[in-house]
Structure 1
Amino acid sequence: YEDRGLDGFVDGTENPQGDENVRNVAIIPEGRPDAGGSYVLLQKYLHDLKKWDAVPVAEQEASVGRSKEANEEFSKDVRLPDSHLGRVNLKENGVGLKIVRRSLPFGKISGEHGLMFTAYCHTLHNIEVQLLHMFGDADGKTDLLLKHLSTAVSGAYYYAPSVERLQDL
């Protein structure tokens, strides 16, 4: 089971692996305000699958930053800076700006298709920096998936408190 999206690529390959790593990325640590909770991003993207299918596979792969069939990430020396991985696989001071991704592709009989993208993180910073890079606000380069496939139609941040905090209310 490969968790491929409607675009044909494996989704969530940059997710942290293992329960402890997921918790470390998603849960606000003790000693910080709102400890035990998580910051949540929810976005809805619509996909133009006809447009995407007309893009040659090599250009799709360049837009994502990895191979479609084998799911092999392209090395940084050949990866386009405006590829999806070039926009969201980011580091600051040598440390990756990780988020936990939980995406769900959807489709309607009307022909509307897309992705409900949810991400969790212990800090809004990681989410915000990735969004700024995707949409070109960081350096003027926009994620190629927004050119060839996806249109963001909604998005919002949320704070999800811990179970303990909810029980205290």
Structure 2
Amino acid sequence: MTDGYGNRVPIAPQQVDAPLTRTAVFLVLVVADAADAMSTVREVISGLDDLIKTAGFRDLSGRLSCTVGIGARVWDRLTRRAKPAELHPFREIVGPTHTAIATPGDLLFHIRADRADLCYELERLLLESLGTAVSTADEVSGFRYFDTRDLLGFVDGTANPVGPDLPASTLVGDEDPAYADGSYVVVQKYTHPLSMWQALTTEQQEAIMGRRKADNVELPDATSGQKSHKTLTTIVDDAGEHDILRDNMPFARPALGEYGTYFIGYTRHLWVLERMLERMFIGDPPGLHDRLLDFSTPQTGSTYFAPSAALLGALADEPDDEDGPDEPDDQDDPDERTDHDEAPDGPGADLSLGIGSLNPSADERTAS
């Protein structure tokens, strides 16, 4: 498709690499237990490209895109395939002071555009098409805040990988060839007590974040004791530094006193993002949690796998039989741990945190 100037405008159902936009909708749905629910969902998400075109033709320069993530609970019945190697439900992390909670979610739709009306129209069409096959677990409309800052006043997204590091950090490769070019996705909705945060001095805020507020310059890492958010979310092991891609967005309803950040992270290896959260909520060393959590309360937490566009489009060819493939019982058990989780000295024993879109310039990225 082309815009009014003859420029090609890509519209695709799976754009992990979509550029940063001015607005976004984060829609989390639960699939119903009805006998025909899976076939309805399968038909809708495999034909998502057509829905994007239907909504997006109104302004082809609006950069409408949508990424679909599928949760572990419905993966095998919906796709008729064994789960990706690391896919499992979000694992609750209980720290001494704060808890990363797990909440329901079978499908994630990450809708992005430069116009809020395009996001609205695609969401409306999606929900109309899905009908009673789903119920809504959470819905958040985000917006770009000034120069890509969060509502705490700091630039969000500068830690995102750029250039060839983007696909290397976010897209599954030869380690799980059946799901190559897909991505693991974790979402959390955080709310902020802004009055408490604003009561801190700028120096106190900067010490918590690990960056200067005005110009986003990194502050030196602490060598002992309390570490900053930047340091705790940096994951390094013998293989080097492990990045993820963030596309966080602020959201707010000032009349209700609600201010927050919607965290969304795309990653090639789910254990990397899980290790970041462990370091935030449990601390490194344990007991010294990320002080940002004293001003950021998680309201949700769920995990998905966003398959490649080719795999997503092929779902319409799957049979309607609702029995999924046989798999080991522990694949659905959130208490079972992967090798990475059980090996404190293994890959990711000391790791890093990041979010945004593939291929935008560094100054267009969101971060933490």
Q: Does the pair score TM above 0.5?
A: yes
Matched, 1:143 2:290: yes
Q: Distance in 2 between matches of 1:83 and 1:39?
A: 26
Q: Distance in 2 between matches of 1:31 and 1:70?
A: 39
Matched, 1:162 2:312: no
* Residues 134/31 of structure 1: CA separation in 2 closer, same or farther (3 Å cut): closer
* Residues 5/80 of structure 1: CA separation in 2 closer, same or farther (3 Å cut): farther
Q: Distance in 1 between matches of 2:183 and 2:162?
A: 18
Q: Distance in 2 between matches of 1:125 and 1:113?
A: 29
Choose 130-139 or 98-107, whichever is displaced more: 130-139
Give yes or no for contact 2:186–2:265 (8 Å, CA) kept in 1.
yes
2:266 paired residue number = 120
For the residue of structure 2 that corresponds to 1:25, the secondary structure is helix
1:24 paired residue number = 168
- Report the residue type matching 1:82 in the other structure: K
Q: How does 1:4-19 map to 2 (within 5 A)?
A: 4-18=149-163
TM-score (norm 2): 0.43
For the residue of structure 2 that corresponds to 1:3, the secondary structure is coil
Cα deviation for residue 92 of structure 1 reads 1.1
Q: Report which structure shows greater RCO (CA 8 Å, sep ≥6).
A: 1
Q: CA RMSD in A?
A: 1.8
- Unaligned runs of 5+ residues in structure 2 are 1-145, 316-368
Q: Distance in 2 between matches of 1:16 and 1:79?
A: 27
1:49 paired residue number = 194
Task: List structure 1 runs of 4+ shifted beyond 6 angstroms.
Answer: none
Q: Distance in 1 between matches of 2:235 and 2:165?
A: 17
Deviations 1:78-131 (A, max 9, x none): 797431012101211151121001101000131201011100001101111000
- Unaligned runs of 5+ residues in structure 1 are none
2:215 paired residue number = 70
Percent of residue pairs identical: 36
2:256 paired residue number = 110
Choose 39-48 or 91-100, whichever is displaced more: 91-100
